[in-house]
């Protein structure tokens, strides 16, 4: 396979069941082969994407002291600002590497009610309030609008996934509608000094949950994914053609039919303008914390024991120094 496929969702979004089935089959082929695909026709407006990108660039351009003011007071909480070197993603897959060369801003679910699902002890661990920076002024509204748009897109993608897996189209609806996922605005600074041996912008890892949706920039030092013959290939990215990949729990749901694949973000060239900074916006849908992830009956004899979504994420977070959000 020379690259990842680009799938136009327009016929699935605007047509009938036949259109949805055709797109579902294309998603199935990509997820079985490499676990990554790109999407156009997704319905998220360019203006919405660009507004958040602009706010994110403004935030990361601030002095470090200003950014640290938006750091959560409880270490290991997946909200707010995190400076460069605070995480090594490879450790979630039991790998070893120097700290990743990125800083990021962590956003959690933006629509949380007084329902017991959110307020009981288990819920409070996953639904810590968001922490917003003082500047730029439009950051919180832009992130909130984007988060809502991507939440809706995930539900639609999961319906296509259900069709691809010979399951009722709405099977996943009540398992991802109150997701404990997050959104990360990842910023990879220009590298003024050479990285340590083996140090990358983001070390090789898999994602933990369901679908990840990425808005990236087409600059050197970007995303790579590993093929089944163990080669690393570049994944073309652009802000409004989203890259989608599956995480570990969706792989388990499919009984390993689909591949939760290793990926990484490599360093830019060491000279010239090509070593510029890079921004990416990663939206991680992690199923509802109480969703029991069991291999789908349509996919044969189960290869994995059932696992609760929230417990699985807690285990992965613990390996990278994060915790589920603390009770308030």
Evaluated on CA atoms 307, 285, 139, 38, the torsion sign reads: positive
Tokens describing residue 318? 């613990």
> How far apart are alpha carbons 95 and 256 in whole angstroms?
21
The mean of the pLDDT values for the chain is 91
> How far apart are alpha carbons 180 and 107 in whole angstroms?
11
Kindly list the distances between the CA atom of residue 57 and the CA atoms of 62, 104, 148, 262, 280, in Å, as whole numbers in the listed order: 9, 11, 20, 27, 10
> How far apart are alpha carbons 250 and 208 in whole angstroms?
9
Please identify every stretch of the chain with a pLDDT value under 50, giving residue numbers as ranges. Answer: 1, 325-328
- pLDDT for position 327: 36
Bond preceding residue 136 cis, omega within 30 of 0: yes
- Strand spans (E) along the chain: 6-8, 36-40, 80-82, 103-107, 182-188, 202-205, 211-215, 223-226, 232-234, 242-246, 263-265, 278-284, 292-293, 307-308
- pLDDT for position 323: 60
- pLDDT for position 177: 93
- pLDDT for position 328: 32
- pLDDT for position 275: 62
pLDDT per residue as tens digits for the range 140-167: 999 999 999 999 999 999 999 999 999 9
CB 160 within 8 A of CB 27: yes
Contacts (Cβ under 8 Å, ≥6 apart) of 324: 78, 125, 126, 180, 310, 313, 314, 317
SS3 call for 199? coil
- pLDDT for position 325: 46
Kindly list the distances between the CA atom of residue 132 and the CA atoms of 67, 80, 81, 117, 211, in Å, as whole numbers in the listed order: 10, 7, 9, 24, 25
> How far apart are alpha carbons 322 and 239 in whole angstroms?
28
**Considering only CA atoms, which of 96, 318, 278 is closest in space to residue 187?**
278
The residues facing 7 across adjacent strands are 39
pLDDT per residue as tens digits for the range 251-301: 999 999 999 999 999 998 876 555 689 999 999 999 999 999 999 999 999
CA Rg value for the chain: 19
Tokens describing residue 256? 């390993």
The residues facing 246 across adjacent strands are 211
**Considering only CA atoms, which of 113, 108, 44 is closest in space to residue 79?**
108
């Amino acid at each position: 396979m020379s690259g990842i496929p680009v799938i136009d969702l327009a016929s699935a979004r605007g047509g009938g069941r036949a259109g949805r089935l055709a797109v579902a089959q294309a998603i199935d082929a990509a997820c079985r082969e490499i676990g990554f695909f790109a999407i156009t026709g997704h319905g998220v407006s360019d203006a919405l994407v660009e507004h958040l990108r602009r706010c994110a660039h403004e935030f990361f351009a601030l002095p470090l002291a200003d950014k640290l003011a938006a750091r959560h007071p409880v270490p290991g909480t997946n909200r707010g600002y995190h400076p460069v070197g605070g995480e090594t993603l490879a450790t979630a897959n039991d790998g070893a590497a120097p700290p990743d060369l990125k800083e990021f801003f962590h956003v959690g679910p933006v629509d949380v009610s007084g329902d017991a699902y959110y307020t009981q002890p288990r819920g409070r661990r996953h639904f810590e309030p968001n922490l917003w920076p003082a500047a730029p002024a439009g950051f919180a509204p832009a992130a909130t609008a984007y988060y809502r748009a991507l939440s809706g897109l995930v539900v639609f993608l999961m319906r296509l996934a259900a069709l691809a897996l010979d399951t009722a189209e709405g099977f996943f609806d009540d398992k991802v509608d109150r997701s404990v996922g997050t959104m990360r605005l990842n910023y990879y600074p220009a590298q003024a000094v050479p990285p340590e041996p083996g140090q990358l912008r983001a070390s090789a890892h898999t994602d933990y949950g369901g679908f990840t949706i990425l808005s990236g920039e087409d600059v050197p030092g970007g995303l790579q994914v590993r093929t089944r013959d163990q080669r690393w290939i570049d994944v073309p990215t652009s802000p409004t053609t989203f890259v989608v990949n599956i995480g570990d729990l969706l792989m388990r749901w499919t009984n390993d039919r689909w591949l939760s694949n290793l990926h990484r973000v490599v360093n830019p060239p060491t000279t010239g303008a090509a070593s510029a900074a890079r921004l990416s916006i990663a939206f991680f849908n992690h199923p509802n914390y109480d969703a029991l992830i069991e291999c789908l009956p349509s996919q044969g004899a189960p290869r994995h024991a059932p696992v609760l979504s929230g417990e699985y994420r807690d285990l992965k977070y613990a390996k990278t120094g994060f915790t589920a959000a603390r009770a308030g």
